[in-house]
Amino acid sequence: MTLPAGTHAVRQSLASFRQEREADWKAFEALLARVEKRAPRALSEDELLSLPLLYRSALSSLSVARATSLDSALIAYLEALCLRGYFYLYGARRSLRMRIGDFFLHDWPAAIRDLWREVWTSVALTVIGAIAGYWLVASDKRWYDAIIAPSLAGGRNPDSSAEMLRSVLYGGGDHFLSGFAAYLFTHNTQVAILAFALGFAFAVPSVLIILMNGCMLGAIFQIYAAKRLGFELGGWLSIHGTTELFAIAIAGAAGMRIGTSIAFPGELTRMAAAARAGRVAATAMVGVAVMLLFAGLLEGIGRQTITGDIARYSIGGGILALWISYFYLFRMMRHGNG
């Protein structure tokens, strides 16, 4: 039996293709492994410049291998290598500091402005909920237990005495950041995330959560107002409450945006509309977490140490004004090609 003519030549040329390129692939793999572990700063200038060259050489090797070689292990190796290189090189990554800067200077206020209709709907729903809660508890005080969970009520209920209620408002704690404040922060954030995530179900659960949140506010207000302590409660709540309630309203608004854009996608496909809404809403949600953290700090530090009603109202009102002007008036001009 004789060898079919030419197989030897084919074997030789493919073997030399691999031999000649293999060093480049290995170098690219080693560089990728390094930049994936540490910042690109760890590379020297030459190595940094060679990265895109090695990437293109690997891509061209892949094209050649696909067209001429039947070694499936070699092709699988090159495909995995090129994919890793592609994700790294086209991943458009900027430093963490720049991303954080962009978020505060630009992305966060822009997201809130983009959501303005939902945000004010959500605020209106909170007010409606508060009025409903107030009216329900005023008409029958058994509603109070149905609206507010005992773990959050902290012993305040319609049968508490005026002195007891007053002591909660002005009883100065000697410590700053209490465990209760940390608990409230995580609880509120979880409520906010839920209000956001449930928006997926055509926004209905988000609306309900926001209404319920307003109801709780109205209910607690009623038991204080009944003892003629309404004004004082307002001061006590407003120190951190303006920030906190606004944050939860924004979370609900983010949920509503997602729900409504899935229900009414407009000219986009439903998938594209959902993806677009999701990204704006997610940016708003990070802002919500920042606001809730801020509210938690205010609550832990300010609520028990600042006991004057006027001071409380002015701090709460001032911070609310700050948020609103930050979101709606503050526009950072961005220079360059950022």
Partner 1 sequence: MATARNPAALVRPLVTPEGVDLRVKLADAGTRASGFLLDVVIIVVAAVAVSLVAIFGLGGLGVKDAEPLVIVWIIFIFLLRNVYFIAFEAGRRAATPGKRMVGVRVASRSGAGLTLDQVIARNLMREIEVFLPLSILAARGSAGVADTLSTIFGLVWALLFSLFPLFNRDRLRIGDLLAGTWVVEAPKVALLEDLSLRKDPITARFQFSAAQLDAYGIAELHKLEEVLRRDDYFAMKAVAETIGRKIGARVEPVDSKAFLTAYYGELRAHLERKLLLGNRKADKYAQ
The answer to whether 132 and 218 have CB atoms below 8 angstroms apart is yes
**Which candidate, 214, 188, 211, 198, places its Cα nearest to that of 255?**
198
* Selected binder of partner 1 within 49, 76, 152, 268 (CB under 8 A): 76
113 contributes a contact to partner 1 by CB under 8 A: no
**Which candidate, 88, 74, 69, places its Cα nearest to that of 28?**
88
SS3 337: coil
Q: Which CB, 30 or 124, lies closer to partner 1?
A: 30
* Selected binder of partner 1 within 24, 47, 79, 232 (CB under 8 A): 79
Region of 275 (left: φ > 0; alpha: ψ -120 to 50; beta: rest) is alpha
Burial class (CB in 10 A: 0-12, 13-18, 19+), 277: buried
Residue 118 beta carbon to partner 1: minimum distance, rounded to whole angstroms: 16
* Selected binder of partner 1 within 91, 172, 266, 336 (CB under 8 A): 91
* Selected binder of partner 1 within 27, 197, 301, 320 (CB under 8 A): 197
The answer to whether 291 and 275 have CB atoms below 8 angstroms apart is no
Residue 135 beta carbon to partner 1: minimum distance, rounded to whole angstroms: 28
Residues 167-196 binding partner 1 (CB under 8 A) are 175, 177-179, 182-183, 185-186, 189-190, 193-194, 196
151 contributes a contact to partner 1 by CB under 8 A: no
Measured CA to CA, the distance from residue 46 to residue 290 in angstroms comes to 41
Total number of residues that touch partner 1 (CB under 8 A): 78
Binding mask 265-294 for partner 1 (x = CB under 8 A): ------x--xxxxxxxxxx-xx--------
Residue 117 beta carbon to partner 1: minimum distance, rounded to whole angstroms: 19
Residues 203-262 binding partner 1 (CB under 8 A) are 258
* Selected binder of partner 1 within 31, 51, 62, 220 (CB under 8 A): 62
25 contributes a contact to partner 1 by CB under 8 A: yes
* Selected binder of partner 1 within 20, 22, 120, 321 (CB under 8 A): 22
Locate 86 and state its tokens: 């592609």
Region of 155 (left: φ > 0; alpha: ψ -120 to 50; beta: rest) is left
- Amino acid (one-letter) located at 267: E
Locate 44 and state its tokens: 């020297």
Listed ranges 15-23, 42-50, 302-310, 325-333: which one lies at the site for partner 1 (CB under 8 A): 15-23
List, in order, residues 6 or more apart from 205 with CB less than 8 Å away: 195, 198, 199, 255
The answer to whether 214 and 125 have CB atoms below 8 angstroms apart is yes
Listed ranges 4-12, 134-142, 219-227, 319-327: which one lies at the site for partner 1 (CB under 8 A): 4-12
Q: Residue for token digits 């290189």?
A: 85
63 contributes a contact to partner 1 by CB under 8 A: yes
